[in-house]
Amino acid sequence: MPDAAANFRPDHRFETLQVHAGQTPAPVTNARALPIYQTSSFTFNDSAHAARLFALEEEGNVYTRIFNPTSDVFERRIAALEGGVAAVAVGTHAAARFLAFNTLLTHGDDIVVSNSIGSETRHQLLAFERNFGIHARFVDDGVAGAFAPAIGPRTRAVYVETLAGAGLRVPDFAGIAEVAHAAGLPLLVDNTAGGGGYLAQPLAHGADVVIAATNRLIGGHGAPAGGVIIDGGRFDWSSGRFAEFTQPSAGYHGLRFWERFGPGSPTGNVAFAIRSRVEGARDIGPSLSPLSAFQFVIGLETLSLRAQRHADNALALAHWLRARPEVSAVVYPGLPEHPQHALARRYLPNGFGSELRFVLRGGGDAAARLLAGLELVGSVVNPDDGRTQIDTVEPENALSDGATLRLFAGLEHFDDLVADIDRALTR
């Protein structure tokens, strides 16, 4: 099945991979730009060829719901950038989480989860419990060891998010991975804030599976929605906790995924990605459009440049806001007073992300005046599209009794941003 190492060498740097990994000139045409294979299906050479493809005995294209050549380039490239071996791209961030959970969890299972995860993930896990009988055990992620007592006999995974919650907490990836692995469990990380591996690369610190929203820093322009799962390729799925990987698959004539796609196979250990694709994506159908995949590939080509500018602007804005008399508190992992600043320096060496939070004196009225007075800075649901945005947060995520606002730094010139915010603060 697809190898994320296509068209790059191990010594290539991130900036080279983001332009070249996973793509060679198109066959027949030798097109330089990535072709968009806007087709639902593909032809077979003969009946034997079709049989081999359906039995997963041969790599190839059958149906875009499962596999598409345009999406394949995006999947290879993002896997290379995150330090994984394979990826599965789908139509939304929520679909990527659902697919990852669906690949591991069944009725009666549970998953140990950081209590600082975002509200969307929390709502999705509550829906899993309500509809499928799958329970989420929430723990304080401040100390890696806190995850161990929550692990039970039906636990199937540990899950955290990069720069999560009101405090923009930084998980101790290596420490939490050690706890998870000691219990025979994989560590799943939502690395949306990690910028496709440029800002944070959890797989390099022991994580086993990464999930991300591709419509944020990865795509960078707020155009298509999308999500992706990246398989780290190191976890042993044959421990006995994950029978779906070792027992015969009814949908593939008794195929055992761990035997066919484990570390001893010609593909190497891509068992999680393959099961997510050929059972999960096949049955649930959260397909990514080939056009969207093309747009995400275009976004990847400038990822490091954009992610660096986002992070640089966020750090500068955090320092500027901290000095303002109208602001009583600023939370940003790049500030020395942040509780996880040391972890941020370890796990986010290129920058501390685009998001910061600040508390405005004067409460809700002051926040309303600020938002109404902004001209350049906007307020939208999808951040990291190149434009700076400020919005208020839910009461449960407020930092204090003041008005808590969330700012995502964009790519604009810093002086123009502070001029706009200054006018709004002093109007």
Q: Is 316 left (phi over 0), alpha (psi -120 to 50) or beta?
A: alpha
Give the angle 178-335-365 at the CA atoms, nearest 5°. Answer: 115
**Which strand (E) or helix (H) includes residue 408?**
strand 403-408
Question: What interhelical angle do 290-300 and 69-82 show, nearest 10?
Answer: 30
Domains 45-293 and 303-426 share a fold: no
Q: Which residue in the block uniquely carries the two structure tokens 């906790």?
A: 241
In this predicted structure, what is the pLDDT of residue 401? 61
In this predicted structure, what is the pLDDT of residue 141? 82
Q: Give residue limits of the domains in the chain.
A: 45-293, 303-426
- Dig out the tokens for 130 from the structure: 């309500």
**Beta-strand relationship, 403-408 and 355-360:** antiparallel
Q: What single-letter DSSP state applies at residue 41?
A: B
In this predicted structure, what is the pLDDT of residue 253? 87
Instruction: Outline where DSSP puts E strands in 115-265.
Output: 135-139, 155-161, 187-190, 209-213, 227-231
In this predicted structure, what is the pLDDT of residue 132? 94
Q: Whole-model pTM?
A: 0.93
In this predicted structure, what is the pLDDT of residue 393? 74
Residues 352, 341: contact at Cβ < 8 Å? no
pLDDT tens string 108-117: 999 999 999 9
CA-CA distance, 18 to 198, in Å (whole number)? 10
SS3 187: strand
Q: Name the CATH superfamily housing domain 303-426.
A: Aspartate Aminotransferase, domain 1 (3.90.1150.10)
CA-CA distance, 74 to 37, in Å (whole number)? 13
In this predicted structure, what is the pLDDT of residue 395? 55
**Residue 28 CB coordination number (10 Å):** 7
Residues 81, 302: contact at Cβ < 8 Å? no
- CATH fold, domain 45-293, is Aspartate Aminotransferase; domain 2 (3.40.640)
User: At residue 131, what are phi and psi to the nearest 5 degrees?
Assistant: -95, -30
- H helical segments located in 302-384: 303-322, 341-347, 363-373
Residues of the chain with pLDDT under 70: 1-8, 10, 394-402
User: At residue 225, what are phi and psi to the nearest 5 degrees?
Assistant: -85, 155
281 class by beta-carbon count within 10 Å (0-12 exposed, 13-18 middle, 19+ buried): buried
In this predicted structure, what is the pLDDT of residue 215? 95
SS3 29: coil
CA-CA distance, 420 to 375, in Å (whole number)? 7
**Residue 196 CB coordination number (10 Å):** 31
CA-CA distance, 334 to 319, in Å (whole number)? 9
